[in-house]
Amino acid sequence: KLAMFGNVNIATQLDKSYQVGIRKHNEEVDKNQYILSKLVDCVCFCGAFELALRGHDETESSLNPGMFQGLVDLVSSIDSAMEKHVKTATVFKGTSKTIQNELLDCMLEVTRDFIIQQLRNTEYVAIQADDTTDVSTKCQSVLVYRYIDGNGKIVERFCGFTQLKDSRAESIATEHCEKHYDGASVMHGESGRLQRKLNLIMEQAVSKITQNAGRPNVPFLSFFFYNTMPHVDVLYSQLQKRDIDTIYVERVTTELVSSINKVRESIHSASGAMALFRLFLENNLQDTFSETVKLLRILITTPMTTVESERCFSTLKRIKTLRNMMNQDRLNALAMLSMEKQLIQEIPNFNKRTIEKFAALKDRHAKFLYK
């Protein structure tokens, strides 16, 4: 009577069915992630070149659907998988206003997370704050980070715009926790200008540097002895022997003279704090001259101008022109894509990270995460 159920173990049958289900699920995830990655590229392109994503009429019969839809159509014309998706998609097409905003939010979060990770790995950070009035007569405050990255390069990163009630120091100090004042005279309040509200980065940072680091010629003398003493020791040991090898002594003497000349040329060629800082890093002297390197880090990190803030305001003006009803989150995302487009290219697996955050935002009918 039980022959109709077959001879295969029921647990084995269930296991095979489960594996088939997982395989089909992951195949669908592969397709969905591929399509979403193309959509992320289209959004990145529009953001990098400050192009409006949407048009006035985005219906299928529209002749002017907007830049994002135009890019999707272009990719569809050269990519068969994208073309099939656009024509047959019913659950998730990916071209709606809501999807665009969610992708922008995810891309902004991924970029900020990467910047925060760099900030955690640096010793000193200068935070610049400035404000302006945008085309919709709203007071916008910008926050910019300046620090030395892992490659020893000084960088300035855009953090975001914040809409303020006014340009008083109280409002700015409430919204941000700055450590640097840029000298903008328009930032005033009843209790004094912004520098009375905020602490300068130099006041706390320089206080940690010992007085020895400020003595004249210490970097040169230390660097000189660090590079020449090994040759001096070898030469001294050879000259103390009874059977002196004149050829070997001559070679060691030549190496000593060459080392002295090399140190002299390196020090003289290092014009400026940044060049001297790189000289110490290239020769692995950051531990030997820790106080001097620390002082150089502070000096390099401290901004001398507010050029980066002004660049941010120029980007703000270009983005918000003819789009003055844009909400703050979308503004920050588009500004980040424009000002940090080179950084976005350097972020490992940027599209994959964006897709993972997009999938985790809420439960979706389309599948984007593997089992």
For 299-331, how does the pLDDT look when each residue is reduced to its tens digit (9 = 90+)? 899 888 888 999 999 999 999 886 777 889 999
Do 214 and 280 belong together in one domain? yes
Count of residues in the chain: 371
Structural domain of 38:
9-95+340-371
> Of 301, 319, 350, which closes a domain?
301
Tokens of residue 253, six digits: 């003497």
pTM of the predicted model, to two decimals? Answer: 0.73
Give the whole-angstrom CA distance, residue 339 versus residue 314: 10
Strands 125-133 and 154-164: unpaired
How far are the Cα atoms of 35, 49, 102, 134, 343 from residue 317, in angstroms, in the given order?
Answer: 32, 14, 23, 7, 22
For 117-132, how does the pLDDT look when each residue is reduced to its tens digit (9 = 90+)? 999 999 999 998 888 9
Please report whether residue 112 resides in a domain: no
- For 41, half-sphere exposure in the C-beta direction (CA atoms, 13 angstrom radius) is 13
Give the whole-angstrom CA distance, residue 256 versus residue 104: 59
Residue 109, pLDDT score: 96
Residue 187's φ and ψ, nearest 5 degrees, are -85, 90
49, pLDDT greater than 80: yes
For residues 78, 82, 86, 91, the Cα torsion angle rounded to the nearest 10 degrees is 180
> Of 301, 322, 353, which closes a domain?
301
Q: What is the mean pLDDT of the chain?
A: 79
Q: Domain tally for the chain?
A: 2
Per-residue pLDDT band at 271 (split at 50, 70, 90):
low
Per-residue pLDDT band at 23 (split at 50, 70, 90):
confident
Residue 322, pLDDT score: 67
The mean pLDDT of 252-278, rounded to a whole number, is 72
> Of 274, 301, 328, which closes a domain?
301
> According to DSSP H, which parts of 240-272 are helical?
246-269
Please report whether residue 202 resides in a domain: no
Please report whether residue 252 resides in a domain: yes
How many H-runs (helices) and E-runs (strands) does the chain carry?
Answer: 15, 3
Please report whether residue 200 resides in a domain: no
Do 280 and 346 belong together in one domain? no
Please report whether residue 224 resides in a domain: yes
Give the whole-angstrom CA distance, residue 126 versus residue 303: 7
Please report whether residue 165 resides in a domain: no
In the DSSP assignment, the letter for residue 283 is T
